[in-house]
Structure 1
Amino acid sequence: MLGRSTSKMPLSVGRGIGSQVPLRLHAAPSSRLWQQRTFHQMGRTSASAAASPVPSTADSSEPQSAVLHRTLKSAPRQVTSGDGKYLHFSDGHKILDSTCGAAVACIGYNNQRVKKAMLDQMDKFAYANSMFFGHPIGEELAAELVNGTGGVMSKAYIMCSGSEAMESAMKMARQYYMELSPKQNKRINFIARESSYHGTTLGSLAMSGHVARRSLFTDMLLPNVHRVSACNAYRGMKPGQTTEEYVAQLANELDRKFQEVGPETVCAFVAEPVVGATTGCVPAVPGYFQAMKKVCEKYGALLILDEVMSGMGRCGTLHAWEQEGVTPDIQTLAKGLGGGYAPVAGMLINHRVADALKNGTGAFSHGHTYQGHPVGCAAALEVQRIIREENLLENVKKQGELLGSLLHKHLDDHPYVGNVRGKGLFWGIEFVADKESKEAFPPSAGIAAAVHSKGLNNLGISLYPGTGTKDGVVGDHVLLAPAYTSTKEEIEEIAMKTKQAVEQAFNGLRTA
């Protein structure tokens, strides 16, 4: 039974959160992830259940939206303007965007330099057919990105979304081996991690370990992705286990998975340096990625690092892998690349991969109509120049240390906060029903949604909610991803209001 606990403060499901006070669910769990998960948990597979209409929360007298929103159960708030770090809504509400949307708007909204760069490019031309033509702005962006790696990476490939970037990385890994030798044609498998998220297209979703987002489409997903445990010190380390022992355990697991799948059939090991939305900013322990890369090298496989959410400065260095003592063969990036000014993402390949293509067919067997879109490139280039020229990475480090220390100060002792973790300006808070056993709340409690709601509606900040934190089914967290330009005063405000949102959420989930 969910909620069983062995601590001194047992959770009584449906009666109280760590007490005998009856539980009242004031905040409806509106999270899309919660909806997807509970759809299956509630067994809505019968004809009668599927046919039962759910009344819309929107006023029937109001005009109905023609947009297929994330949910059709209620109308979303309408953003009317954004300026700096603030968003304004049609109902007069205003928030300090403490998550940059989905860790995207890293330099804030309405930046005049970026707007001008995009307009200047549109005045020249807005589109070029990448099948036949290149353009200067694309060359400049690629050079900026490669230079940002110290020349470790060789080529940049620009697309529109992180999911596209992962699809490209998968195909690039396969083609790399085919370029080396036709005898490498057995390499079709990938090894990824549990509790990962790499995108929402069928290929990238197959790579993902996100239970809720996979659930409807499991039978359609690729069968050639295999899984090992995530690196999650809070959930994965055994009592008394050292970091070195934990790393060795995970390296041995990866080695065994290579042996199980067939070493000669594996293209790559795929991982996020800091896991974002699925588990809430979980960094790897020291030495982990060095050990994983050593296993990959043992079997001649590539290392693909997904930095769609954690990269481009979010963790305090331009690339999160700079802190791990490794370099990837292929890297994906997106959110902080263009700061939300255009839909833009990218894939970087190192010299090993680029040379294989150059010495072989000379062409990547892949393509998109809007790859290398000139206006997107202009936006991304200006965002990256601002980050570099205004030395924003130093501010991310400085303000990130402050944010982390304040979150620990405010929340470590809270009875239902299990873990506070993160890097740079990328921090997560995991909630538990029992601190000793680390037992999660039942999904019906809607904890993450409640914290998000209190922050948004009562305190004017954004707290990105996530569920399935523990095992893909149960568990709650929220994450913070403030702008790289955040000041000390703003970080202090965000930390205090996060504390208040957590307190109000748990107080609101009890009866008066």
Structure 2
Amino acid sequence: MKSNVFHRSLRQEPAKIVSGSGITFTLSTGQTIIDASAGPAVSCLGHRAPSVTEAVTRQMNNVAYVYSGSSYTSDPIEELASLLLADAPGGLTKAIFVNSGSEATDAALKLASQYWVERGQPRRTNFIARKQSYHGNTLGALSVSGHASRRAFYEPWLSGNVTFVDPCYAYRAQKPHESEAQYVSRLAMQLEDEILRLGPETVAAFVAETVPGTTIGCVPPSPGYFQAVRAICDKYDILLILDEIMCGMGKTGTMHAWEQEGIRGPDIQTIGKALGGGFIPLSGVLATQKVFDAIEQGSGTLVHGHTFQAHPTACAAAIEVQRIIKRDNLLENVCEMGKLLDSELRLQLANSPFVGDIRGRGLFYAVEFMLDPASRRPFARDANYSNRVVEEARGLGLNILGNLGDTGEYHVEHVILSPPYIVNADEIKEIVKRLKVAIEAVDREFVVLRSEGDGGEDTAQERISAVL
């Protein structure tokens, strides 16, 4: 590569984006791309919002930066926290603002650890997370992430006080003889057994994505799952940390994804991505009053901080993003367009030979592909089916997310659609139309290869893997 930038992918030159408007961006070649994933579910207002630009400019003309470690604050920091927590959703009353989702996870873990020290229970150092989860790329966030390939390089650095239980992934993990309630009961028992194995007095928190994103693809939790999890955490006085960096801030149709789970809420929650819409990096940690009180009545100091924590200009941008979402009733649009997205996907992909499952909530949807959907036989790990769909889609002017490596026990070939909240019906139909064409282009080769596998499914899979 000629570029002096150490890009994340070194196998090809990245295309250069020169402008953006609405749900599209334009490349230096002149090609227009529909951003059907909003980046990685970030650009909730699309790629241009003049009033956000004005809010940022106004704040920079007032004061661009205030150091959170000093004895000073600023209006945007205070206003954004008040805006998000005005009604104390789920008992959440305090906010910490940082930059990336990974930073938010680290801050949440440190906050939970400090909480127990302040409570006089320093032995509570164990965290329980879920397999095939992803909470960020810093060492702390990776320690509680069950993403196999992203952990692999850094295993020697990762914390040894984290253990993992199964994800809530009924499509692949619910046994044929199990009812939905029995499956949830089995997962709940597994979590409780792990707490008892570690010793409840040593467990600080259970960490989970309310609706997992890139690892297993927009899987809504089975009914009753989080009610059972909340009850177990309460039984053993363990903190519940919910990661809504990707699925939260309206993406599933409610401001917080957990609001659809029939629980009072988490003790600590991470947010990001759609919080500021990508205009300036911003994420956050929300905490309940009991967590805050333990520290206020104890040391009186939050033992955590970053140079750019609670950046006033980023907070100013987020205030305007959240104002627009409320002003334009965009959560209603998320719900309405989400229903259309669901119906269009099911209609247009009904006859696709490798489509196994279509799932999601709001504008947070995934299509999972299987070598044999009828028997739920997955592709081999080297098939690279979904990323080939992503490449085909890119050529058709459609940006979507695909499989992000080996995430663990279940090999999941999927693509994610999470368009901006401003998307309209015509755009939804065009997105699904182009996705269908991309899938059909990849299918032509795979169907031929599978049909040639007269010796059985293994032969078909071997032939597919051989040419890939």
Q: Where does residue 47 of structure 1 map in the other structure?
A: none
1:308 to 220, 228, 245: 245
The Cα offsets for residues 45-73 of structure 1, whole Å up to 9 and x where unpaired, read as xxxxxxxxxxxxx6xxxxx1000001222
Shift of residue 468, structure 1, vs aligned partner: 5.2
2:94 matches 1:155 = yes
Shift of residue 492, structure 1, vs aligned partner: 1.2
Q: Where does residue 148 of structure 2 map in the other structure?
A: 211
Q: Where does residue 340 of structure 1 map in the other structure?
A: 278
- 3-state secondary structure, aligned to 2:60: helix
The Cα offsets for residues 417-464 of structure 1, whole Å up to 9 and x where unpaired, read as 11111000000011111113322212332211110011111x211120
AA matched with 1:189: N
1:94 to 10, 32, 40: 32
Question: Residue 412 of structure 1 contacts residue 419 of structure 1 at CA under 8 Å; is this kept in 2?
Answer: no
Superposition pairs of residues 261-272 of structure 1, within 5 angstroms:
261-272=198-209
Relative to structure 1, the CA distance from residue 387 to residue 204 in structure 2 (aligned partners, 3 Å threshold; closer, same or farther) is same
Partners of 1:448 and 1:76 in 2: how far apart? 19
2:47 matches 1:109 = yes
Shift of residue 352, structure 1, vs aligned partner: 1.3
Question: Residue 345 of structure 2 contacts residue 432 of structure 2 at CA under 8 Å; is this kept in 1?
Answer: yes
2:359 to 421, 442, 445: 421
AA matched with 1:314: K
Q: Where does residue 5 of structure 1 map in the other structure?
A: none
2:435 matches 1:498 = yes
AA matched with 1:389: R
Partners of 2:124 and 2:350 in 1: how far apart? 46
2:306 matches 1:380 = no
The Cα offsets for residues 167-210 of structure 1, whole Å up to 9 and x where unpaired, read as 000010011111111xx111001000011000000010010000
Shift of residue 471, structure 1, vs aligned partner: 3.6
Q: Where does residue 461 of structure 2 map in the other structure?
A: none
Question: Residue 149 of structure 2 contacts residue 407 of structure 2 at CA under 8 Å; is this kept in 1?
Answer: no
1:175 to 94, 114, 117: 114
Q: Where does residue 219 of structure 2 map in the other structure?
A: 282
- 3-state secondary structure, aligned to 1:282: coil
Q: Where does residue 222 of structure 1 map in the other structure?
A: 159
Relative to structure 1, the CA distance from residue 151 to residue 192 in structure 2 (aligned partners, 3 Å threshold; closer, same or farther) is closer
Partners of 1:386 and 1:412 in 2: how far apart? 36
AA matched with 2:414: H
Partners of 1:195 and 1:361 in 2: how far apart? 36
Q: Where does residue 38 of structure 1 map in the other structure?
A: none
Relative to structure 1, the CA distance from residue 510 to residue 289 in structure 2 (aligned partners, 3 Å threshold; closer, same or farther) is closer
Q: Where does residue 322 of structure 1 map in the other structure?
A: 259
Superposition pairs of residues 217-256 of structure 1, within 5 angstroms:
217-256=154-193
The Cα offsets for residues 374-424 of structure 1, whole Å up to 9 and x where unpaired, read as 110011111011111111101101110110111122224422111111000
Q: Where does residue 452 of structure 2 map in the other structure?
A: none
AA matched with 2:332: E
Q: Where does residue 477 of structure 1 map in the other structure?
A: 414
Shift of residue 472, structure 1, vs aligned partner: 5.0
2:132 matches 1:200 = no
Partners of 1:425 and 1:151 in 2: how far apart? 23
Superposition pairs of residues 33-52 of structure 1, within 5 angstroms:
none
Q: Where does residue 11 of structure 1 map in the other structure?
A: none
Partners of 2:448 and 2:182 in 1: how far apart? 45
Shift of residue 510, structure 1, vs aligned partner: 6.5
Question: Residue 106 of structure 1 contacts residue 336 of structure 1 at CA under 8 Å; is this kept in 2?
Answer: yes
2:329 matches 1:391 = yes
Superposition pairs of residues 25-40 of structure 1, within 5 angstroms:
none
Partners of 2:411 and 2:180 in 1: how far apart? 26
AA matched with 2:441: Q
Shift of residue 240, structure 1, vs aligned partner: 3.7
2:303 to 365, 371, 394: 365
Question: Residue 235 of structure 1 contacts residue 470 of structure 1 at CA under 8 Å; is this kept in 2?
Answer: no
- 3-state secondary structure, aligned to 2:359: strand
The Cα offsets for residues 240-297 of structure 1, whole Å up to 9 and x where unpaired, read as 4222111111110000000111111110010001000111111101111010011111
Shift of residue 232, structure 1, vs aligned partner: 0.6
Question: Residue 193 of structure 1 contacts residue 227 of structure 1 at CA under 8 Å; is this kept in 2?
Answer: yes
Partners of 1:489 and 1:372 in 2: how far apart? 38
Partners of 1:429 and 1:148 in 2: how far apart? 35
Question: Residue 38 of structure 2 contacts residue 420 of structure 2 at CA under 8 Å; is this kept in 1?
Answer: yes
AA matched with 1:265: T
2:76 matches 1:137 = yes
Question: Residue 127 of structure 2 contacts residue 207 of structure 2 at CA under 8 Å; is this kept in 1?
Answer: yes
Residue range with higher mean Cα deviation, 423-432 or 234-243: 234-243
1:84 to 16, 19, 22: 22
Partners of 2:131 and 2:92 in 1: how far apart? 27
Relative to structure 1, the CA distance from residue 500 to residue 297 in structure 2 (aligned partners, 3 Å threshold; closer, same or farther) is same
- TM-score after normalising by structure 2: 0.93
AA matched with 2:42: V
- 3-state secondary structure, aligned to 1:267: strand
- 3-state secondary structure, aligned to 1:178: helix
AA matched with 2:349: L
Partners of 1:84 and 1:374 in 2: how far apart? 26
Unaligned runs of 5+ in 2: 450-468
Partners of 2:55 and 2:376 in 1: how far apart? 49
Partners of 2:178 and 2:10 in 1: how far apart? 47
Shift of residue 298, structure 1, vs aligned partner: 1.1
Partners of 2:378 and 2:406 in 1: how far apart? 9
2:346 matches 1:402 = no
Shift of residue 300, structure 1, vs aligned partner: 0.8
Partners of 2:404 and 2:304 in 1: how far apart? 34
When the two structures are aligned, how many residues end up with a matched partner?
447
Question: Residue 228 of structure 1 contacts residue 254 of structure 1 at CA under 8 Å; is this kept in 2?
Answer: yes
AA matched with 2:432: A
AA matched with 2:125: I
Question: Residue 159 of structure 1 contacts residue 346 of structure 1 at CA under 8 Å; is this kept in 2?
Answer: yes
Shift of residue 149, structure 1, vs aligned partner: 4.7
Shift of residue 467, structure 1, vs aligned partner: 4.5
Shift of residue 475, structure 1, vs aligned partner: 3.1
Q: Where does residue 17 of structure 1 map in the other structure?
A: none
Question: Residue 147 of structure 2 contacts residue 408 of structure 2 at CA under 8 Å; is this kept in 1?
Answer: no
Question: Residue 192 of structure 1 contacts residue 225 of structure 1 at CA under 8 Å; is this kept in 2?
Answer: yes
2:228 matches 1:291 = yes
Question: Residue 146 of structure 2 contacts residue 408 of structure 2 at CA under 8 Å; is this kept in 1?
Answer: no
